[in-house]
Amino acid sequence: MGIRSKIITLGIVVSILPVLATLILLGTQKSKLDGQVKKGINEQIESQLTAIANNMYALCETQNESVVQTMKSNLKVAKNIVEQHGGLRFSTEEVNWNAINQLTKAATPVTLTKMLLGDEWLGQNSNKNVKTPIVDKVEELVGGTCTIFQRMNTQGDMIRVATNVINKDGTRAIGTYIPAANTDGTSNPVISTVMSGNTYVGKAFVVDKWYIAAYEPIADSAGSVRGMIYVGVPMENVASLRKYFLETKVGKTGYVYVLGGTGAQKGVYIISKEGKRDGENIWESKDADGKFFIQEIVNKALNLKGSETGFSRYPWKNEGDMQARLKLAAISYYQPWDWVIGVGAYEDDFSIREEVSNSVNTVIKLIIIISGIFFVISLLISLKMGSDIAKPILKSIVSISDGAKQTASAAAEVTEAAQQLSQGSTEQASSLEETSSSLQQMDTMTKKNADSSLTANQLAQQARTAANQGNTAMDELRQAMTAINESSDKIAKIIKTIEEIAFQTNLLALNAAVEAARAGEHGKGFAVVAEEVRNLAKRSAVAAKDTTLLIEENMNKTKGGSEIAQKVGKVLEEIIGDVKKVADIVAEIAASSKEQAEGINQITNAVSQLDSVTQQNASIAEESAAASEELSSQSDVLRTIVSELQQTVSGGTKALSSSQQIEYVGSEKQTAGEKNSKKETVKLYPAAKKNAVHPEKIIPLNELEASKDF
């Protein structure tokens, strides 16, 4: 096969192999790519749903904190109103009640003493159009609901004796009571907290719905709990929170929902899609596989801690769908409200696997088309190159014999260059000896510098220790200052108390003026108000005294801060002394460095001479290398490739031409027939022999030992 045919064949193979390799690689990687895309999509979905679930949880937490603070404030308002009207107490007279359990709706007749506000009985007003003391005033001032409870029995059942909570029939919910025990026998958290003398703030069931509420006990002079006062707002009235839940969209069709977690509202929709199924119990709902997926979601949520997020996957089939679609829900549990928060969406809302697969198929088709075009072009180029390469090579074979003459000339150049290289190497050896001596001097100076550096390092460590002590002293100073700040905070709180007392003082003074105006010369009410003013004045004096004590405490702590600052100053003085020692050592190092510089100067002079010789040797070496390479390639290869090249190019075994033969001079003897031949002969001369140059003979190796430590 001739070179032309080989070039064409090579072009075809080179064109086909990359195409086949690319197609095989795409085929094997397509399934792997699909798997990676699916995994990435699932991670993306879970990440998005988790972020939304965390946002919903944080929103509930923020809203709860805000409402709880509002309830505490409303409770203070209610207590102030009670105090302004003489406080709550109990009469010796009794009144009958038809007490209704707000959970079971069971009625129980009960007789209780009348609860009075000052000297006025709260009454049994169920008409919302008729004013009821305290509760309506609270609603007027701060909004929301308010109730006065009276204890019914030793168990702690609490009946509403005055309230603005409205029943479904439009009447006030007086006569309803909160039982001390729930229907399942567990203790009611509101009653148990209040009966222990503490204030309950949180979620509570009020008559027929859930509220965010605050309950504070009402105790008699003996400390016994006789009732409680309540303020609250319905959870459904937190409009901004509900609106945010309903308006949040997940993927294309997903949404956020809320289910009850425990008790009577377990599995009940609190917030549903678009609010259409609010209040519906879906505890028994099943997915497309018949599993109770709501029960699984709720139970999984109840096991979560804090703001943790869980996941639930289930197949779901809507009406009109041909087949079920896989749905993913991220769930979290907000325990203060007993809310199971779900963020659900269909997985195919986020899927891009089909688009990726189509893109890959399109790429494969384009590769096949482009490869076909590339194959045709490569075939044409191979045909052209085969012809263009073969013809010049055949013509060049005849002139290859000129290389033999160049080989002989190159051999002479190599011999001369080797002699010059030998002379230069001798000069280089002398320079290396001088360099070795200078290096020994520099080595001595280097060791001395190393010792000085070690001492400097030790002193630096001591300075660092002193600095650490200074840092410790500074920490103590900062702690003292922090204590001062804390005392300042306490002063601010006490001042705030004084301000509140001043406010109450003004209010009582105003009431006193009004009372005096009403009573005229019989200003009995003025005497009561004046007594309250004196009490408030006493509280102001106590607060002022506390303020004085705190100021003195701050002065003492400030003095302590000054003493600590003095300690820091002493430590810094020690650091300065160590730094001075370090400076002395550095001076010694500088002197050693000067001596070292003189040695380096000698090295520089020697190296300068060495560099000159080295450059000369490098130039000679380049000439020797070039000549040697040319000589080697022409001498070793030329004798064997001429006839092979002719055969390769032509594809056969014929000679150069009828009038040309190749003669290898000095390799074989000519026969008698060859001597008498009149054909033109191309002579190839063998390379001239030369002695090999060995560097170790020019520069003895043992003369270099002086520089081994360099």
Rounded Cα distance between 122 and 155, Å, is 24
For residue 654, is pLDDT > 60? no
Token pair of 586 as six digits: 């550095």
Q: Which percentage of the chain shows pLDDT scores above 90?
A: 28
* 193 vs 195: CA distance, rounded Å: 6
Cα distance between residue 632 and residue 626, in whole Å? 10
466 confidence band (pLDDT: 50, 70, 90): confident
The pair of structure tokens assigned to 661 is: 């033969």
Mean of the pLDDT values across residues 573-596? 70
Helix (H) or strand (E) holding 141: helix 135-142
Average pLDDT for residues 309-315, to the nearest whole number? 92
Mean pLDDT value of segment 107-121: 95
Which are the contacts of 592, defined by CB distance < 8 A and separation ≥ 6? 445, 448, 449, 452
> pLDDT digits over 590-640, tens only?
667 667 766 776 776 666 677 676 667 767 766 766 666 666 666 666 656
Q: Above 50 in pLDDT, residue 695?
A: no
Q: Which single residue is written with the structure tokens 């207590």? A: 79
CATH 3.40.50.170 assigned to 425-620 = no
Confidence at 450, pLDDT banded by 50, 70, 90: low
Q: What does the angle CA 380 – CA 386 – CA 390 come to, to the nearest 5 degrees?
A: 160
Q: How confident is the model at residue 26 (pLDDT cuts 50, 70, 90)?
A: low
* pLDDT tens by residue, 335-351: 988 899 999 988 877 65
Angstrom distance (rounded) from CA 151 to CA 191: 10
- Top mean pLDDT of 210-219, 367-376, 431-440 is at 210-219
Is 497 or 272 the better-scoring residue by pLDDT?
272
Q: Is the pLDDT of residue 706 over 50?
A: no
Encoded amino acid at 493, one letter = K
Which whole number is the average pLDDT over 164-182?
94
pLDDT, position 141: 93
Question: Would strands 120-121 and 209-219 be described as parallel, antiparallel, or unpaired?
Answer: unpaired
- For the cut 90, the answer to whether the pLDDT of residue 106 exceeds it is yes
pLDDT at 407 over 70: no
3-class DSSP string for 408-476: HHHHHHHHHHHHHHHHHHHHHHHHHHHHHHHHHHHHHHHHHHHHHHHHHHHHHHHHHHHHHHHHHHHHH
CB 43 within 8 A of CB 421: no
Half-sphere exposure of 90 (CA within 13 A, CB side): 18
Which residues share a beta bridge with 341? 258, 332
382 vs 10: CA distance, rounded Å: 8
Contact 41, 347 (CB under 8 A): yes
345 exposure class (CB count in 10 Å sphere: 0-12, 13-18, 19+)? buried
Range 144-156 average pLDDT: 95
- Whole-angstrom distance, CA of residue 100 vs CA of residue 65: 32
Using the predicted structure, report yes or no on whether residue 705 has a pLDDT greater than 50.
no
When the candidates are 3.30.70, 3.30.450, 2.60.40, 3.40.50, the CATH number that belongs to 85-237 is 3.30.450
Annotated domain spans of the chain: 85-237, 425-620
Higher pLDDT, 684 or 309: 309
Mean pLDDT of 549-573: 72
Tell me: pLDDT of 200 over 90.
yes
Q: What integer is the mean pLDDT of 186-201? A: 94
Considering the chain, what is the average pLDDT of its residues?
A: 77
| Predicted confidence band of residue 281 (pLDDT cuts 50, 70, 90) | very high
**Which pLDDT band, with edges at 50, 70 and 90, does 214 fall under?**
very high
**What pLDDT was estimated at residue 665?**
45
- Work out the average pLDDT over 103-110: 94
